[in-house]
A and B are shown apart, each in its own frame.
Chain A
Amino acid sequence: MIEKLRQMVEEAKQKMDRAASLADAEGLRVKYLGKKGELTEILRSMGSLPPEERKTLGQAANTARSQLEQLLNENMERFRQMEKAAELSAETIDVTEPGQVIPIGAKHLLTITTDEIIRVFSGMGFSVSEGPEVETVFNNFDALNSPPNHPSRDMTDTFYISEDVLLRTQTSPVQVRTLLSQKPPIKVIAPGRCFRCDTPDATHSPMFQQVEGLAVDEGITMSDLKGVLDRFAKSLFGSSEKTRFRPHHFPFTEPSAEMDVSCFKCGGKGCRFCKGSGWIEIMGCGMVHPNVLKVGGVDTERYTGFAFGMGVERIALLKYEVDDIRLIYENDARFIRQFK
């Protein structure tokens, strides 16, 4: 009997070696350990044996049972793992198939550029102010110290609605509005649309956008103007860029200047992009003319101020290397989405 048990275990091992699946293993479990299994049958038949024999055989049968159980457990676990692996393998996907994009929208290049400019000046304490696109001649010219016969007032340069009302040619009238409505200290920037009688081409647009800036307080100097705008240029174009301030003329500032940034294409050596000068003109600026401050009732002995104005399109074209201003107002989706 004991020999039979040994053979049974041996046979089970051999059969298990040939088993190929969890079902085969389960079949072996039933064959040996099931209700009518071979080992079960032996155990059942033990009742009729004499006690001595029964004890010996019982020990052998228990050993055989634990051997069989171990064999079955180990192999069934092995088959389970294999089957799981096969199942997962069948679920394989092609990871190179494209993702399902939920496309984000893109802001317009001018919004992006304006926001960048606002961000830099906000960091230096400037608030954002606004004014209307349809303006008075007074706010756009007279109050800004523009001579009555200045050519920029001509109908060949400026769009008029009536004798006294026009489409603003610059965001500078916001300076006037700010000076009339606020008391120093003042620090504002004013982004907005402006209009001039230019036929559209690669570098001109009859509508364009500017960001104006104005700071008025006690003790504001031209050195402060340089400091603020230098910081702006470095923040927008890169900290290694240099700035240069050249004397210029605007009716509403004195002293007036134009700010150049060292050419970011050639690093200031001179190239086609900067027309060989090594510098790129970025904006006009200067100390607010006392005549402008007086319009706002500001005490020009106590307060001084600086102002500046830059073209957003110009900055956008330079920074993003766009070569035609018309693209900006064409709104081709393929253009807009490049700046998402």
Chain B
Amino acid sequence: MLVPIRWLKSYTDMDVSLEVFCERMVMSGSNIETVEVFGEEIEGVVVGKILKIEPHPNADRLLVAQVDVGGGEPIQICTGAMNIFEGAFVPVALDGSRVPGPLHGKEKVEGGEIIRAGELRGLVSNGMMCNCTELGFSDKVVPIKHRDGIWILDGEFVPGTDIIQALELDEAVVDFEITPNRPDCLSMVGMAREAAAVFGTALRYPETDCSKVSAEQTGDHIRVAVDNQDLCRRFTGRVVKDIRIAQSPWWLQHRLISAGMRPINNIVDITNYVMLEYGQPIHAYDLRHIRGGEIRVDTATEGEIFTTLDGQERSLTTDMLMIRDAEGPIGIAGVMGGLDSEIRDDTSVIFVEAANFSGDSVRATSKKLGLRTEASSRFEKGLDPNLAAQACDRVCYLIEMLEAGTVLSGSVDLYPEPANPKTHEIRISRMSHVLGVDLTGEQIEGYLNALEMKTERLEDRIRVMPPTVRMDLVEEVDYVEEVARMYGYDRLPLTLPRSHVESVRTANQMIRETAKNTLMGLGVNEIQTYSFVSPKTVEKIGLSPEDPARRFVTLLNPLGEDTSVMRTMLLPNMLEVLSRNMARSIEGMRAYELGNTFWVGDDPQAQLPTEKDVLCAALYGEQESFFTLKGILTELLSVLGIEGSDFVAETGNAAYHPGRCANIVYRGAVIGTLGQIHPTVAEAYDLTQTVYAADLSFHALYSLVDMDKKYEPLPKYPAMKRDFAMVVEEQVQVGDLEKEIKAHAGDLLEAVKLFDIYRGNQVAKGSKSVAFSLTYRAKDRTLKEAEVNEINTRVLVALKEAHHAVLREM
């Protein structure tokens, strides 16, 4: 909401600096987006009168003008603008002056541009005649007739007058952020009400009483019927005759321009001006084109076609509220009028309509038609129906004042259920109870009265009657806010709650934190990726058609296909991230994501999908292998107290290399998978390096985690080590050998460690040599050579029987 300060001051006499105004408005609830002080970048620009124009002797497209800029001799200015004429008053930037710009064909320069005298094709040019944009007006709001060429000023001026003074250009415009609960502030009067309350000044409402009303009655020219009162709470209007369409006076144009609207002509400008004053949209019809002199407010028929003011044909539906005349539609209620009944230069009688349409209906219509207008957005937010008649009278007042027409007596006003002021009772004690400061009844009443609310003291309560424009006030708590902001949030003390509640974290939160810290220690970097993905990811990753991970939670209105379903796995996002890093020539990366996946069908009764935590880890780089990743996972599981899981070769997972993939099995259940990414998948993701990845069903780990640590006494007696190497066939898995060792070594075996695997000339082709180091120890005594030898022999025999392992000379 753009508020020109000088305009605002016409309703209330606050006398504060711009800084103080802004500061106190912000702190009382009217937040400010920007403040622009117009005219700050204009220096040395004066009004000039063109005395004489001659063609430039050396250029066809240039004119040479002698311009009176006050004080002595006229100055000579060369220009390419052809719209100037002798006797015209124009803005002249003198030698050394400054204009905001942008200059013709250039970008805007911060601080403006300095204008210097110069020579144009051999003739001296002592300045520049300005157009509107050179003086800093936006193209969007400049009147159409001033858009091209030099700005020809209306009226008479003393040549040499500073342009800022002449046109009152030094206007500060404050852009307020209006929250959706305060549509009443989308108006000058509304903002003036706020300012008056903040600065303790009186609020002056705009003049609305016409003094030269014609004896003719509005009712003789127009009859109105409202068929759908639910959607049209009030319909009011007046007829004005003898319309003289003209340009608005500068003060009116200037206010509209400052508030961001382009001046058109006096009648349109007045309706826009009053809309800005009250927030009430106004529509003016050319009465000639209201056929039969009657208006009917009713919903459209299905498929009806109507051409709006902007020349677009619109196809209507039965829920859209229309303004009709005797023969057909002339406007879409609250959205846009029709092309046919538009105000034209020859319009002589108009009907000024100010109505109150249902915000929900206007919103639905405007959404369906894809047509949002200044009017529709105001109706959507909600309007006080009492404004309609005031605004309509104000339009008539201004028409009369600008001598643009003769207002007829009376009005049509269909307003069967007037909105009467509401009353609420609020408790004085509640204010202190919520805010934490002691406020007296007098203080509270004072704040509310300043906001034009009537109050009445009832012992420990106050009865409040707010103005009807304050539709946001419906219950006690709304007044708590009013009192708080008028008292000043900044005056509330800083205290801490007295209650003592202990901060607790759930077991799962702590498990996740432990996992993240462990992975951090293991050199794995955390990534975070979108929760929504492309459904094509499951194809890229090679999921089978019946895989439950294909049953997606699907968005009805995604931004695009690539974010249209909720992820069921993290691996695809991970591969994308690694691929991106490879593409950026990053040599290696260890990454993990611990995040949510979304599953339907787990519980058919559930309204919401099940969200399951998954951990995906992956790595690439020169030093990385299946086993570096396996080591990371093993250490992570160990930290979480999940010891003794098996890595079981898996050949059927399409995402992974069939010979380099394992399921992680714990107590019979698969809790995760790791492996080298399948070459086909790697190709699909443009992975130029080998990637090893793992996904863990983290949600399944929560119940398995055992992070209770207990001290185990350090060994008192020495250990005895036995190292041996054996030759086995290539397909024998070392995991099985290790299991065999553990199964036969008994309780005295403290640790078993694989320390070497050898393939090569020293062993037969298709075989490998595997070397283990076994550590034996008893808790209560020193072991004897003989007993360890006996156990070790038993182990070797078992390995030979089960796996044809042949002991190798060490």
Please give the residue numbers on chain A whose beta carbons come within 8 Å of chain B beta carbons, in ascending order. 102-108, 110-111, 121-128, 130, 132-136, 149-151, 155, 159-162, 164-165, 167, 185-187, 193, 195, 197, 199, 206-207, 215, 217-224, 226-228, 230-231, 244-249, 254-258, 287, 289-290, 304, 328-334, 336-337, 340
Closest Cβ–Cβ distance, residue A222 to chain B (whole Å): 5
B20 within 8 A of A: no
- What separation, in Å, do the CA atoms of A94 and B631 have in the docked complex? 33
- What separation, in Å, do the CA atoms of A75 and B756 have in the docked complex? 50
In the bound complex, residues from chain B placing their C-beta under 8 Å from that of A249 are 179-182
Closest Cβ–Cβ distance, residue B4 to chain A (whole Å): 20
> Are A133 and B607 in contact (CB-based, < 8 A)?
no
Most buried by A among B489, B493, B498, B611: B489
- Contacting residue for A290 out of B27, B477, B520, B591, CB 8 A: B477
Beta-carbon nearest neighbor of A189 in chain B: B503
Most buried by B among A106, A199, A222, A332: A222
- What separation, in Å, do the CA atoms of A289 and B474 have in the docked complex? 13
Closest Cβ–Cβ distance, residue B486 to chain A (whole Å): 9
- What separation, in Å, do the CA atoms of A222 and B609 have in the docked complex? 37
- Contacting residue for A128 out of B489, B505, B524, B553, CB 8 A: B505
- Contacting residue for B498 out of A111, A160, A219, CB 8 A: A219
> Are B499 and A217 in contact (CB-based, < 8 A)?
yes
- What separation, in Å, do the CA atoms of A136 and B608 have in the docked complex? 7
- What separation, in Å, do the CA atoms of A257 and B526 have in the docked complex? 35
In the bound complex, residues from chain A placing their C-beta under 8 Å from that of B598 are 133-134
Beta-carbon nearest neighbor of B512 in chain A: A111
> Are B532 and A108 in contact (CB-based, < 8 A)?
no
> Are B496 and A331 in contact (CB-based, < 8 A)?
no
- What separation, in Å, do the CA atoms of A164 and B503 have in the docked complex? 34
B residues 467-509 near A (Cβ < 8 Å) are 475, 477-478, 480-481, 484-485, 489-490, 492-506, 509
Beta-carbon nearest neighbor of A127 in chain B: B504
> Are B360 and A149 in contact (CB-based, < 8 A)?
yes
Q: B122-130, B576-584, B678-686: which lies at the A interface?
A: B576-584
- What separation, in Å, do the CA atoms of A206 and B566 have in the docked complex? 13
B213 within 8 A of A: no
In the bound complex, residues from chain A placing their C-beta under 8 Å from that of B527 are 108, 331, 336
- Contacting residue for A193 out of B506, B523, B531, B608, CB 8 A: B531
> Are B495 and A223 in contact (CB-based, < 8 A)?
yes
Given contacts A134-B611, A249-B179, A331-B529, list 17 more A-B pairs with CB under 8 A: A105-B522, A105-B590, A106-B526, A125-B500, A133-B566, A134-B609, A136-B608, A151-B180, A159-B558, A161-B555, A223-B493, A226-B492, A245-B490, A246-B31, A304-B433, A332-B581, A332-B584
> Are A247 and B28 in contact (CB-based, < 8 A)?
yes
> Are B29 and A127 in contact (CB-based, < 8 A)?
no
- What separation, in Å, do the CA atoms of A159 and B427 have in the docked complex? 41
Beta-carbon nearest neighbor of A138 in chain B: B607
Q: B47-55, B322-330, B434-442: which lies at the A interface?
A: B434-442
> Are A221 and B434 in contact (CB-based, < 8 A)?
yes
- What separation, in Å, do the CA atoms of A304 and B429 have in the docked complex? 14
> Are A254 and B480 in contact (CB-based, < 8 A)?
yes
Given contacts A161-B555, A246-B29, A332-B584, contact A223 B437 (CB under 8 A): yes
21 of the cross-chain contacts (CB-CB < 8 Å) are A105-B520, A108-B525, A108-B527, A121-B503, A133-B611, A161-B553, A161-B556, A206-B530, A206-B559, A219-B498, A221-B436, A222-B434, A222-B489, A226-B489, A226-B494, A244-B490, A247-B28, A329-B528, A332-B581, A332-B584, A336-B526
Closest Cβ–Cβ distance, residue B84 to chain A (whole Å): 39
> Are A185 and B492 in contact (CB-based, < 8 A)?
no
B516 within 8 A of A: yes
> Are B528 and A334 in contact (CB-based, < 8 A)?
no
Most buried by A among B363, B481, B531: B481
B569 within 8 A of A: no
Closest Cβ–Cβ distance, residue A252 to chain B (whole Å): 12
Beta-carbon nearest neighbor of A305 in chain B: B497
In the bound complex, residues from chain B placing their C-beta under 8 Å from that of A162 are 556
Beta-carbon nearest neighbor of A154 in chain B: B367
> Are A207 and B531 in contact (CB-based, < 8 A)?
yes
In the bound complex, residues from chain B placing their C-beta under 8 Å from that of A248 are 29, 31, 179
Beta-carbon nearest neighbor of B502 in chain A: A125
- What separation, in Å, do the CA atoms of A167 and B27 have in the docked complex? 34
Closest Cβ–Cβ distance, residue A286 to chain B (whole Å): 9
In the bound complex, residues from chain B placing their C-beta under 8 Å from that of A103 are 523
> Are A330 and B484 in contact (CB-based, < 8 A)?
no
Most buried by A among B433, B503, B522: B503
In the bound complex, residues from chain B placing their C-beta under 8 Å from that of A134 are 553, 566, 598, 608-609, 611
> Are B611 and A132 in contact (CB-based, < 8 A)?
yes
Given contacts A103-B523, A159-B558, A197-B557, contact A133 B506 (CB under 8 A): no
B residues 548-569 near A (Cβ < 8 Å) are 553-559, 563, 566
Closest Cβ–Cβ distance, residue B589 to chain A (whole Å): 5
Closest Cβ–Cβ distance, residue B373 to chain A (whole Å): 16
> Are A107 and B526 in contact (CB-based, < 8 A)?
yes
Closest Cβ–Cβ distance, residue B484 to chain A (whole Å): 4
> Are A104 and B521 in contact (CB-based, < 8 A)?
yes
- Contacting residue for A106 out of B29, B525, B577, CB 8 A: B525
Beta-carbon nearest neighbor of A244 in chain B: B490
Closest Cβ–Cβ distance, residue B233 to chain A (whole Å): 16
Beta-carbon nearest neighbor of A222 in chain B: B435
In the bound complex, residues from chain A placing their C-beta under 8 Å from that of B433 are 221, 304
- Contacting residue for B499 out of A102, A130, A218, A287, CB 8 A: A218
- What separation, in Å, do the CA atoms of A163 and B661 have in the docked complex? 42
- What separation, in Å, do the CA atoms of A164 and B492 have in the docked complex? 40
- Contacting residue for B489 out of A107, A124, A218, A257, CB 8 A: A257
- Contacting residue for B519 out of A105, A126, A221, CB 8 A: A105
> Are B523 and A104 in contact (CB-based, < 8 A)?
yes
> Are B563 and A247 in contact (CB-based, < 8 A)?
no
B101 within 8 A of A: no
B12 within 8 A of A: no
> Are B509 and A149 in contact (CB-based, < 8 A)?
no
- What separation, in Å, do the CA atoms of A296 and B363 have in the docked complex? 32
Among all A-B residue pairs, the 8 with the closest Cβ atoms: A221-B436, A223-B436, A247-B29, A249-B179, A255-B481, A331-B527, A247-B485, A227-B494
In the bound complex, residues from chain B placing their C-beta under 8 Å from that of A218 are 499
- What separation, in Å, do the CA atoms of A333 and B589 have in the docked complex? 7
> Are A330 and B523 in contact (CB-based, < 8 A)?
no
B26 within 8 A of A: yes
- What separation, in Å, do the CA atoms of A86 and B581 have in the docked complex? 50
Closest Cβ–Cβ distance, residue B735 to chain A (whole Å): 27
B190 within 8 A of A: no
In the bound complex, residues from chain A placing their C-beta under 8 Å from that of B525 are 105-106, 108, 333, 336-337, 340
B359 within 8 A of A: yes
In the bound complex, residues from chain A placing their C-beta under 8 Å from that of B480 are 254-255, 287
- What separation, in Å, do the CA atoms of A257 and B522 have in the docked complex? 44
